[in-house]
Amino acid sequence: MSVSTNHPFRVAFVTHENYHMPGARVRCYCMAKALAERGADARVFSFHDEFGRAYAQMSDTEMMLNSLRAYNRLVKEPAGTILFVQRINYHTLAPFLASRVRGFPLVLDCDDWDFDAPIYHTLRQLPGFDAHTWLDRVGRTAAACVASSHALKDVLEKLNGHVEYLPTGVDTVRFHPPTAEEDAAGRSRPVTVSWIGTVFRRDNVLALQFAIRVFAEVFRRWPHCRLEIASTGFMIEEIKRQVADRYPHVDITFVPWMAPDEVPGYLRRIDVGLLPLIPANRFNQSKSPTKLFEYMACRLATISSRVGEAAHVVRDGIDGFLADDEAGFVEALLTLVRDDGRRRAMGEAARKRVEERFSHELMADQLYNWLYDISGRGAHPKNRG
């Protein structure tokens, strides 16, 4: 059985996450929808949706059984189907084996540096069951690789001769500037600064604590602004206690975590978005700044650490600020909360920047053309032996 002649190519996006996780949502669900709109036969195979549990809740045995179930499904895909594997994790094994058995072109997509985290609980102690080994094996035998950042592109180019740079980008239709009514309502509020993110990792906590210290200093010098923190995670209650103890007179509000479809509306009432990347480790150097793209699309002025991909996205002082340290963040934020004209002009430039360089429409066109080429090229030569 071969790919239907009604479609130029068929692609299955394989992920262990569901729609609510940003990596899968943007790089699998959104891209599959966009490719289908362009005529491709595109779908998502989510291990979470198919098997009902997040991988972190599974035993090694359950992961292996799910991999076997997924393999039995994927190996029956029509000939020529492209298996687009989003990240290295336990779900990688099934499409890798299906590709080896059936000769499917496999594309490895990396949008985070998550190769240091263990995949299995007990099996990780055995040789060959770590993410670095899997990255090397899958990266070298893939038909091609996709990198969301320049840092990841450098890593993958050491393994594979066909690597495409595809930033996470943003849906500029869903994420749009405030309407006239929303804009008018915003003028009556204090300048609102926002930090959005989860706090499950130590670096998440460090970044949020950094943002809070920066804002507290700005508020001390210009108390006509407020900070909103939209976050979730098992460490958030401790952060709330720290804020109550250390900054009782600073205007800081914690807002409930929201569903992905609620985020665009929330951002339209924000003025400044913060993206501190603390520390400047390999994870932060490698990640594609999804939140930054969303801020910019909603016409927010932004301040980002001059770390990793943010420095390739933001033109410092034009469509956002890049800062090297805490003092740099404070000075940039003071400029934005004090100067309405500068803040609005920067937000307008940010919106134009993502429309011209980082919109999902552009990303989808790029991916469509690239996968069309891969569908004709077939499996990587190393994957035929």
- pLDDT tens-digit series, residues 295-327: 999 999 999 999 999 999 999 999 999 999 999
In the prediction, which pLDDT does 380 show?
Answer: 42
pTM beyond 0.85: the answer is yes
pLDDT at 382: 37
Whether 122 has a pLDDT exceeding 90, the answer reads: no
Q: From residue 128, how far is each of 7, 202, 340 by CA, in Å? A: 38, 27, 56
Concatenate the DSSP letters of all residues of 238-283 into one string: HHHHHHHHH-TTS-EEEE----GGGHHHHHTT-SEEEE---S--HH
Inter-residue contact 38 to 28 (CB < 8 Å)? no
For 322, the token pair is 């890049």
Contacts of 31 (CB under 8 A, 6+ apart): 13, 42, 360, 363, 364, 367
Q: Place 114 in a pLDDT band, splitting at 50, 70 and 90.
A: confident
Kindly report the number of other CB atoms within 10 A of residue 244's CB atom: 10
Residue 383 pLDDT:
37
CA dihedral 94→98→100→102, nearest 10 degrees, is 180
Note the pLDDT of residue 4: 45
Average pLDDT, the chain: 93
Q: How confident is the model at residue 379 (pLDDT cuts 50, 70, 90)?
A: very low
**Coil, strand or helix at 310:** helix
Q: What is the pLDDT of residues 239-271, one digit of tens each?
A: 999 999 999 999 999 999 999 999 999 999 999
Per-residue confidence (pLDDT) for residue 3, from 0 to 100: 44
Does position 183 have pLDDT exceeding 50, yes or no? yes
Query: Taking 70 as the threshold, does the pLDDT of residue 2 lie above it?
Result: no
Q: Range(s) for CATH 3.40.50.2000 in the chain?
A: 10-169+360-383, 180-357
| Arithmetic mean of pLDDT, 201-227 | 97
pLDDT digits (tens, 9 = 90+) for 128-158: 889 999 999 999 999 999 999 999 999 999 9
State which fold the 10-169+360-383 domain adopts: Rossmann fold (3.40.50)
**CATH architecture designation of domain 180-357:** 3-Layer(aba) Sandwich (3.40)
Q: What's the pLDDT band for 377 if we cut at 50, 70, 90? A: low
